[in-house]
Amino acid sequence: MTGKFELTKAKHGQFMFNLKASNGQVILTSELFKTKASAENVIESVRKNSNREEAFEERTNSRGEPYFILKATNGQEIGPSEYYSSKAAIENGIASVWKNAPDVKIDDVTV
The domain spanning residue 53 has which CATH number?
Answer: 2.30.29.80
Within-domain flag for 46:
yes
Within-domain flag for 110:
no
- Per-residue pLDDT, averaged over 42-55, amounts to 93
- Show the CA angle centred on residue 37, arms to residues 32 and 58, nearest 5°: 45
Within-domain flag for 59:
yes
**3-state secondary structure string across the chain:** CCCEEEEEECHHHCEEEEEECCCCCEEEECCCECCHHHHHHHHHHHHHHCCCHHHEEEEECCCCCEEEEEECCCCCEEEEECCCCCHHHHHHHHHHHHHHCCCCCEEECCC
Query: In sequence order, what are the residues at sequence separation of 6 or more whose Cβ sits closer than 8 angstroms to the Cβ of residue 89?
Result: 66
Within-domain flag for 109:
no
Q: Is the pLDDT of residue 20 over 90?
A: yes
Within-domain flag for 39:
yes
Within-domain flag for 111:
no
Within-domain flag for 88:
yes
Share of the chain above pLDDT 90, in %: 79
Share of the chain above pLDDT 70, in %: 99
* Confidence label for 11 from pLDDT (cuts 50, 70 and 90): confident
* Confidence label for 37 from pLDDT (cuts 50, 70 and 90): very high
Number of domains in the chain: 1
Q: Is the pLDDT of residue 1 over 90?
A: no
Q: Is the pLDDT of residue 35 over 90?
A: yes
Question: Can you give the residue range of the structural domain that contains 25?
Answer: 4-104
* Predicted structure pTM score: 0.88
Within-domain flag for 22:
yes
